[in-house]
Structure 1
């Protein structure tokens, strides 16, 4: 009873003593609740996609809140689910391939394109393969990830054609999902595979493949700027124009994350679980591959190269995305 009375007495004394300084204390104590009112940015992300690595880092390190917004991630199992989330407006943005963004523009659904990665993919062969150049691919069994419209495959054919080689006609082409192509290469059922960079990195780390060429090298062969961001974070253009400050804040957080992951190896400790690296060698290959894909900021020349890339992959000149849809960072 006395304890109860004493508690009430102290509580009344505290309440009575709440002048302006006391109220300020209460206000400061409630700041974490106020932080919940930060504008939210909802992004769809593949659960095991490479973009998830840097987005997870942004959340873990609070880079979003430092920049004045709250990043909400909506993990999905596959690319169609991510695209559906974007087009249905379940999320504000998603990661997308440049060619898909172009196709949406042609369909009347313009998207703002914020650079993510310049990694197109790689052409890999068995470690003991005699294939050493593009010309050696003639007559070989080639696996292609992403189907006949894969930009890496289109670019490879372009460069080969410049050397007088019709790869599609002279070789046996098989289209399949990357894991199936990786297994076929391991078993010797394919001579070369055109695949995504992180699948190539895993194959090389386990000793099942070596790189014939990074597909990004093909850009130089075609007189385009190197390290073009062929993957981007995309937002509906009307939404992006209405929320430009939020997009700018997101871009600033991205820049911070990329700098940390590039310059501080310890920053990868929290990301490793998402990478599904079975050993240190695979982890190192994925880490270095991701960092190598960090693209420079876009300027007039690089945007023109992206538009030229769209032309090379079959877009009609009058239907190419305008430069206004490519995000430029503030100086």
Structure 2
């Protein structure tokens, strides 16, 4: 039987299609992400998965819940997970001590000194001799930056002149509401809830950081992973960066998405609106290079006041602390 040239081409195309159809689909890049079970990162990750931004960017995201930050750090260093959320100062210290951890920015949202709306405290100078609640411990970065500011500009050492009470964030907020503390320094989402319940911001930690030399907001937290893993799985990292950005973009423009998240956030009404607005303010807008440069400036401030207990023996922020490969 004679076969025309057109028929030959058609058969060739059909044959190629059949071969391609029988090939397995390219497997999605797997990422094991460890997070605190009730942390604010879960809001972004829920949005990411709800709208299938992970699948759209070629990643298979497995979220593993942990009860505490120490547990995520240990799991990360043991290779049990591929990525966590942590702060750049910890990453820098790990790199300075021979590790290869790196991060890309997650959020510039940080805490603030909060006082009741009717409080006579109007400036940071008024904090002298007051009872101040601080979430975390003596080496909390936000607390160190506030201290650095008052020491430099006012000549006041708050840790010596005021009654400092350290505690878990929920307890610090509760004691403030009960009137047992004159002012509190808490994490950003606890501050937002306080704002919705009769408190005002005295000074934000980002404001203190800018006064101390930062040119803009610096992400307090980032998605952390090993350089080696990133080099071996570049598509996974790039896919996650894109998916994270898409989730943030949706949260930045959609109020309905926040209403969907309300049961997870455990807030409604004015409190939900404050959390939404503060989250949006914390979405990174600058280049990674700009954030890294400012983090390096703040490192010197923190190292001067926190000493070796905070940064170890490294005089500078470790090169590579911020991962910039996706933006090259």
Q: TM-score, normalised by structure 1?
A: 0.85
2:203 aligned counterpart, secondary structure: strand
Matched, 1:310 2:307: no
Instruction: For residues 191-238 of structure 1, give each alpha carbon's deviation from its aligned partner in whole angstroms, at most 9, with x where no partner exists.
Output: 11111010111122122x221121111111112122111110000122
Matched, 1:326 2:315: no
- The alpha carbon displacement at 1:71 in A equals 1.2
Matched, 1:148 2:138: yes
Instruction: For residues 28-56 of structure 1, give each alpha carbon's deviation from its aligned partner in whole angstroms, at most 9, with x where no partner exists.
Output: 7x99x947x31111101112111111111
Residue of structure 2 in register with 1:237 after alignment: 227
Equivalent residue for 1:197, pick from 171, 188, 206? 188
Distance 1:52 1:225 in 2: 29
Distance 1:301 1:63 in 2: 27
Correspondence list, 1:258-269, <5 A: 258-269=248-259
- Which stretch of the first structure deviates more once superposed, 135-144 or 309-318? 309-318
- Report if the CA contact (8 A) 2:105-2:288 is conserved: no
Distance 1:215 1:293 in 2: 12
Residue of structure 1 in register with 2:217 after alignment: 227
- The alpha carbon displacement at 1:325 in A equals 3.3
Distance 2:87 2:238 in 1: 21
Matched, 1:187 2:178: yes
Name structure 1 gaps, 5 residues minimum: 1-19
- The alpha carbon displacement at 1:319 in A equals 4.5
Residue of structure 2 in register with 1:159 after alignment: 149
Instruction: For residues 256-277 of structure 1, give each alpha carbon's deviation from its aligned partner in whole angstroms, at most 9, with x where no partner exists.
Output: 1111110122222432222111
Instruction: For residues 146-170 of structure 1, give each alpha carbon's deviation from its aligned partner in whole angstroms, at most 9, with x where no partner exists.
Output: 1000111000011101121111111
- Which stretch of the first structure deviates more once superposed, 44-53 or 105-114? 105-114
Instruction: For residues 44-72 of structure 1, give each alpha carbon's deviation from its aligned partner in whole angstroms, at most 9, with x where no partner exists.
Output: 11121111111111111111111111111
- Report if the CA contact (8 A) 1:97-1:232 is conserved: yes
Distance 2:174 2:291 in 1: 36
Structure 1 vs Structure 2 CA RMSD: 2.4
Distance 2:77 2:69 in 1: 12
- Report if the CA contact (8 A) 1:45-1:76 is conserved: yes
- The alpha carbon displacement at 1:110 in A equals 2.5
Instruction: For residues 68-88 of structure 1, give each alpha carbon's deviation from its aligned partner in whole angstroms, at most 9, with x where no partner exists.
Output: 111111122221222222122
Residue of structure 1 in register with 2:4 after alignment: none
- Report if the CA contact (8 A) 1:106-1:319 is conserved: no
Could you say if the C-alpha distance between residues 144 and 284 of structure 1 is closer, same or farther in structure 2, counting changes exceeding 3 Å?
Answer: same
Residue of structure 1 in register with 2:98 after alignment: 108
1:272 aligned counterpart, secondary structure: helix
